[in-house]
Amino acid sequence: MIEADDLKAAVAAGTITERQAAQLSALAHARSGARTGLRPGDEPFELFRGFNEIFIVVGLVILAFGWSSVAGIAVAAGGGGNFFTGGLIASGITAAVIWALAEYFTRRRRMVAPSIALALFWAGNAVAFFSLAFSQPFMVAQADYSSLPIPMALATLALLGYWARFRVPFAMALIAVGAFATAMVAAAARAGTPETLDEVFLLSSGGPFAWITLLLGIVVFAVAMVFDMSDPHRVTRRSAQGFWLHVVAAPALVNTVALTLLSRETPAANMMLFAVLVVFALVAVVIDRRSFLIAAVGYSVTLGFAVFGTDGAAWSVLGLGIVLLLLGAFWERIRAGLLRLLGPVLPLNRLPPSSGVSE
């Protein structure tokens, strides 16, 4: 294993440049943590690297709670006329503190869990800041959301700027959620608030919400694939960016298609839903992302109850559990077979490699 002293010796000998040594060191750090000791075919996933990170996150949460309480008391003491000005000042100070903490914990210490917590704090603070600056609370209280699209769009842009500086993978999921929220409140301002959650996913509901969800799900999935295909061996943070985007894209796509078909309650629609879930499962195996499969599991159970009834669903759920266990145990073999079958039409050099498949 090449260590720091080896890199220094290689630079001194003229074998590599200092820039190349820094790049190799960064690559080694990117592969550490959750990637260390992974077997081929395992999907890297990392929420924290040690209990010290959890300790720091607890400290950050307590700090945030204490600061918000103190700031709230100070703003309230200023009186109603100074509420918005005081809130903007407090939010601006909060943004500066979060940025400074991210400079230390994210860029310098490269901690995972604190970086996720700080990204969440930045997102919440950005929404609060731009809502105070541009929204109309009295209109919002009367279900008039016409003043919300601009604050939500600006908050999403602020998240994009935060990601550009710190490259926190989890921030990509927040950016995608921000894009969804912006589109939804813009649609609500024009077409009215959806009466039920089903309207957000049912293409047959007549409103624009389900079509927005489907379109943005496709866009987020496409962006996730750009990240994935730029790092097929999953050794850099680009792979983690793709993972979090898939976490947002998969439910948007699966929910919209599955709920629309499930709501028809016909044998033909149930067969179509089964076919769609199989396609999502195949896509998940080919791109080596299990999030699509997890998103489809709930609908597989619901489909079992709809088609077979209560008694028959017990057997279908049992069968689903067996299938998931077999996929988990033999994922790599199944994937290798699929890639061999679909190799002529797939860019294998841009997909995660699989044993037994030539690229």
The whole-angstrom separation of Cα 125 and Cα 130 is 9
Q: Rounded to two decimals, what is the model's pTM? A: 0.80
Residue 157, CA distances (Å) to 173, 175, 205, 352 in order: 13, 8, 31, 31
pLDDT in the model for residue 358: 45
The whole-angstrom separation of Cα 92 and Cα 158 is 13
pLDDT in the model for residue 34: 44
Q: Name the average pLDDT for the chain.
A: 81
List, for residues 259-302, the tens digit of each pLDDT value. 787 777 788 887 887 888 888 888 888 998 887 777 667 666 66
Nearest CA among 293, 289, 300, 295 for reference residue 261: 300
Share of the chain above pLDDT 70, in %: 80
List, for residues 172-218, the tens digit of each pLDDT value. 999 999 999 999 888 887 777 776 666 777 776 777 888 888 999 99
